[in-house]
Structure 1
Amino acid sequence: MSGRKHNLPLDALIFDMDGVLVDVSASYRQAIIQTVNRFFDTGLALDYDGEPVSLLDAEDVDALKLAGGFNNDWDLTRAFIIYFLEMLPPLPMPTFPLRRHVAAILAYLQVARGGHLPVTMNLLRQNKDIPRLARRVQAAGGGLPAIERVLTQRNRHLIETGDNLLKGNLIQRIFQELYLGATLFEKVYGEKAVIAQTEGFIHNETLLIAPDVLATLAAELQLGIATGRPRLEAEYTLDRLGVSDFFQSLVTHDDIVAAGAEGKPAPWSLLEAARRLHPTPARSAYVGDTPDDIRAAKAASQTVPFLAIGVLAAAADKTALQRHFEAAGADIILSHPNRLPDILFRSA
């Protein structure tokens, strides 16, 4: 310990990774945007009317994420694809049996598409209204369950469900190939990438919080992480960025699934990250970048003392995020995670 005086009675800080420790604006966010594009321009072979366009912008991703219930970026990507599928005319269901590998699924989509569609990528982009979708989803409770309530089942047969991206989950397959890149995808899944032959968006990730800030925090408090990332992706990025040693606990998507628990805004991952610290902290805080992070911390505080700290740094619309943080009951709102020592400590 450095002898700094604490402004708040805390023993531990638990961090979200994305948008707090790591800048993912050029990785996960781009993986969402490009997966949606690939599903429609490669999978369904929709044409462009002039210059190629992206169906989504960063602001669209943030808007739907703020609706709540999308701690998992695979779910968020699926929600966008369901939305755009509803904007297409009804497409027939192919009569041949579907084989669950990528080439067969792509062929299935091509047959379902049939001949010329009177819809282009540019028209889909022009007709979208993501802010309206986000409002409807938020009013319906957030997440994929809300998507099911507010959207129809039109063209839903074009989406293969299930958790196994090697056997039918095309959305997750495209996402992981784009995010990990061809080399890392093959290393992780033991199968060659089919859709993306690029390096992978994961290599675009940079630290959002400064290493010296982490060093200052680690000298005073126990540090842990509760993230919705798969463990391999979390460990790979923490190691590559050289900050793994600052953290004494790491709870990931894999742990949530193994425990049969729910992801954020449920509090399990936060409480588990704190429980794995030694000694177990009496008072903790969670630092996150979404309203669901704040809700998770408030829920955790019903079990043990937990403060909710919101960070605005990664948001495309910081004013909107601040309003959502306030509505969710954030105890502290910071412009950037580098301000944590200024809020938590003072010189002895």
Structure 2
Amino acid sequence: MFRTILFDVDGVLLSEERYFDASALTVWEMLYSPKYIGLAGDAFEPAPEESVIRRVRAEVFDHDKVLNFIKTRGINANWDMVYLAFSYQLVRLLAELHKTKSEEVRGILTSQIHREAIARVKELAQGIDFTVDYAAFVADFEKSTAEKQALLLYLNDLVREKTGIETTIFSRNSELWDLCQETFQEWYLGDRLVADSIGRAAYQKGKKGFLDDEIPIVEPAKMAEVLAELKSRGYELGIGTGRPRIETVEPLKAMGLLQYFNPNRVVTASDVLDAEKRYPDRAPLAKPQPYCYIKGMLGMDCHDDECFGLALPIENGEEILVVGDSVADYMAARSIGCKFAATLTGLTGQEARAKFEELKADYILDDMTQILTIL
């Protein structure tokens, strides 16, 4: 019998669509904004109309083929998606520059890529004949069997393949990843709220943010009814999400859902980042690593050493249920040894059923409200 139920947020309680929009806009900005690489060929603006957002999303993720591929390989964090999509185009650009400016490119690819390095790439790329090819991403990454965080490391292999340069700079623990993460936060939170998340004002001002455009997966009153019933039956309810804390708490509070979750069991990407800073040798800790669900299972007041020292798979796995929409959630649950309920409300909707059947998920639900049918 289950005692604790841990929910993912994106694709389970709230729609992922605006997160994917913000991810695409981040890649677009870093490629075309004069404050970053400033490529020719597209006119960047910090407050695009909805029609522009739809176009950019379709182009950057090749009509979601890139997103589907990344998620199937076990990556679920939007920050990682941005890093992969932008870094891939950066590698392609540097490979083109390497033909005529080999030493300059070698210097960039063997050091940390920060704002100054991006500015140097912008200088080198002036007047070069280069075309961004978003669709090439899947074809290049399909050559590898890399999954989870190894996908980020595969960028180093692509550098060697395309330039002959040996490097290890592409990883979760890199200055470029941090830059991608902060730029994404600017888009999602907007000028008004971003400083609360990243500790500084927006580098590129004029962004309105998406926090007020959150879309619930199911009508909030219906979700509240289900969560209230679960609590009345004595289940401990928690959250393990790739969203930062402000982006988790505020919309769930506004929809009247936050009250049903034990605050001691609400674990967000902010908590994961903090843990990575305290224990850099254990990074990455984001899904599909099980840290956020282990922390939610044991409680926020437990010491991280207890999380890291927990013997996996746990002996009482039948007492814990993880509810998620992604392969990354499934992988995390399997690492813990607990039960997993897949919801078909993520990026690919009902099409995900075949994948979860192949993975032998314990339960497959049309949406989170069906959780009452399996208890």
> Is 1:46 paired with 2:39?
yes
Contact kept? 2:268, 2:292, Cα under 8 Å: yes
The Cα offsets for residues 89-143 of structure 1, whole Å up to 9 and x where unpaired, read as 12553899x99986x5664342132x3222234xx24xx2344345345x12333
Contact kept? 1:66, 1:291, Cα under 8 Å: yes
**Cα 1:342–1:277, aligned 2, differ >3 Å: closer, same or farther?**
farther
What stretches of structure 1 move > 6 A for 4+ residues in a row? Answer: 49-52, 98-101, 159-165
The Cα offsets for residues 220-248 of structure 1, whole Å up to 9 and x where unpaired, read as 22211112222333223322333211101
> Is 1:229 paired with 2:243?
yes
Shift of 1:252: 2.1
Aligned to 1:213: 226
> Is 1:73 paired with 2:78?
yes
Bigger helix share: 2
Aligned residue among 255, 258, 262 for 1:241 = 255
Which runs of 5 or more residues in structure 1 are unaligned? 1-8
Aligned to 1:14: 6
- TM-score of the aligned structures, taking structure 2 as reference length: 0.72
Aligned to 1:152: 159
- TM-score of the aligned structures, taking structure 1 as reference length: 0.77
Shift of 1:174: 1.8
> Is 1:313 paired with 2:329?
no
Give the letter for the 2:26 counterpart: T
**Cα 1:270–1:218, aligned 2, differ >3 Å: closer, same or farther?**
same
**CA distance in structure 1 between the partners assigned to 2:363 and 2:349 by the alignment:** 18
Aligned residue among 37, 45, 51 for 2:28 = 37
Give the letter for the 2:267 counterpart: V
**CA distance in structure 2 between the partners assigned to 1:231 and 1:264 by the alignment:** 16
Shift of 1:190: 4.3
Contact kept? 1:59, 1:316, Cα under 8 Å: no
**Cα 1:184–1:61, aligned 2, differ >3 Å: closer, same or farther?**
same
Aligned to 2:289: 266
CA RMSD in angstroms comes to 3.6
The Cα offsets for residues 313-346 of structure 1, whole Å up to 9 and x where unpaired, read as 1223642x323323333101112112222333xx
Which runs of 5 or more residues in structure 2 are unaligned? 44-51, 302-315
Contact kept? 2:242, 2:269, Cα under 8 Å: yes
The Cα offsets for residues 129-167 of structure 1, whole Å up to 9 and x where unpaired, read as 344345345x1233344523652256999x9988798x9
Contact kept? 1:67, 1:135, Cα under 8 Å: no
**Cα 1:145–1:38, aligned 2, differ >3 Å: closer, same or farther?**
closer
Aligned to 2:147: 141
Give the letter for the 1:118 counterpart: D
> Is 1:87 paired with 2:92?
yes
Shift of 1:193: 1.3
Give SS of 1:87's match.
Answer: helix
> Is 1:284 paired with 2:320?
yes
Shift of 1:170: 3.0
Identity of aligned residues (%): 25
Number of matched residues? 318
Aligned to 1:181: 190
**Cα 1:108–1:15, aligned 2, differ >3 Å: closer, same or farther?**
same
Bigger drift between 144-153 and 75-84 goes to 144-153
**CA distance in structure 2 between the partners assigned to 1:323 and 1:149 by the alignment:** 32
Give SS of 1:152's match.
Answer: helix
Aligned residue among 207, 210, 213 for 1:201 = 210
